[in-house]
Amino acid sequence: MLLSVILALISALPLVLGHAAFWHTSMWGFNVTDKTFPYDNRPVAPIKNMNFTEWWFHNHLAYPPNPGDFFELPAGKPATAQIACNKGATDFFASSEGGDIRNAQNPNDVCPGATSQEYHTNGFDDLEGCALAIAYKSDVNQVQPEDFTVFSVNQTCVWTRFTDFQVPARMPPCPDGGCICAFFWIHSPLSGGEENYMNGFRCNVTGSTSNFPVAQSKVARRCGADPTNGKMQAAPANCTYGAKTPFYWFNLERNNMFEGTYSPPVYNDLYNFLDGAQDDIFVDSYLSIPDPAPNAPMPILADVSATKTQIPSSSSNNSSAVPSLAARTCGSSNGSSLRKREVVDVDEGSTSWGGLIFRMSKRSRRLDLHKRHRLWHMW
């Protein structure tokens, strides 16, 4: 018994436990091992300095999930993902080369037997967050990098194997064949070189109560405080608001981020990726989003609470239709139903800007639940 455990561990060792991936049967590359490609192209392998074919979907498009395998995204609830340095450290160990290597003492161990440096963090304070993005298309060959919108962020990723991603309550239904999603992660510059992580998977939104589509995503701007790079104050008006595209960084083609080695783009407040559900990504989320700049006017959030459960009848079977904004503001075009966005948080270092109270730390605007409810739960 003990011997077989030791043998199993030894057989897993040559794989070099390290890095991290999103694991689920709905993913592309679920069974790809270090032998499948001429190079180590396991889902956990980092991506950098590659051409588009090599990095897009981790070059796993020829290794699709089995038909019918979807990762479910329950609108308004958390979806729990498994993130680990090896498939054997997840509940999907049965099809892993090295078998079950889960840590019986700690089911949340991302990489049993390894230190956290193996998954690129020097500790809890060195986490930079990861993201799930969605494209409302069913045919993966039709999906382009710009089609993805980040809909959920976990800023304390990749600290635990089971990682919750809050799904925005207003996520519209997917097309008949489901949606295409992907996991994205860029780790701290203090624990490893510049690298992207991407794992694509089939997903499907369940329990939708809204039909307003996700807006066209835009590249996220580096607007938060960044003390390690000498920027003490956040510049909230410089942020990208609404739907944001994942980061494509440090590859040879189709990058959208050009930050240097020691200032990687990261999924947290530094780029206005708030922790949890990205509730403001829909076509009707804002009344106005001025072009961002340090001294630009702030965006104005729409108050969509009144129409929270309304599914426009004109598009009840057509999720690609864009309902008219005028129709959904119930004829009130004089602004009485509109509310200005306030952004408040509880971290150190507040600045007052344009009459709005602003506090942004490098990492995390942690709204307390009550405030978060008041300020963000307008949907």
Ligand X SMILES: *[C@@H]1O[C@H](CO)[C@@H](O)[C@H](O)[C@H]1NC(C)=O
What is the contact surface with ligand X in residues (CB under 6 A)?
Answer: 30-31, 51, 53-54, 65-66, 70, 95, 154, 156, 160, 162-164, 166, 174, 177-178, 204, 206, 221-223, 235, 238, 275-276, 294, 316-318, 320-321, 332, 334, 336
Q: How far is the CB of 278 from ligand X (least distance, A)?
A: 11
Closest Cα partner for 266 from 209, 226, 237, 301?
226
Nearer to ligand X, 3 or 183 (CB): 183
Q: How far is the CB of 2 from ligand X (least distance, A)?
A: 26
Q: How far is the CB of 4 from ligand X (least distance, A)?
A: 20
Nearer to ligand X, 1 or 319 (CB): 319
Nearer to ligand X, 272 or 285 (CB): 272
Q: How far is the CB of 21 from ligand X (least distance, A)?
A: 14
**What would the two tokens of residue 204 be?**
């499907």
Nearer to ligand X, 239 or 378 (CB): 239
DSSP labels, 75-121: TTSEEEEEEESSGGGSTTGGGSTT-----SS-TT-SSTTS-GGGGT-
Residues 6+ apart with CB under 8 A from 49: 250, 251, 252
Distance CA 301, CA 76 (A): 19
Q: How far is the CB of 85 from ligand X (least distance, A)?
A: 16
Nearer to ligand X, 149 or 163 (CB): 163
Nearer to ligand X, 153 or 378 (CB): 153
Q: Please state whether the peptide bond connecting residue 167 to the residue before it is cis, i.e. omega within 30 degrees of 0.
A: no
Is residue 301 classed as helix, strand or coil in its secondary structure? strand
Q: How far is the CB of 340 from ligand X (least distance, A)?
A: 15
Distance CA 346, CA 349 (A): 9
DSSP labels, 183-241: EEE---TTSSSS-BEEEEEEEEEES----PPBPPPBPPP--S-BGGGTB-S--GGGS--
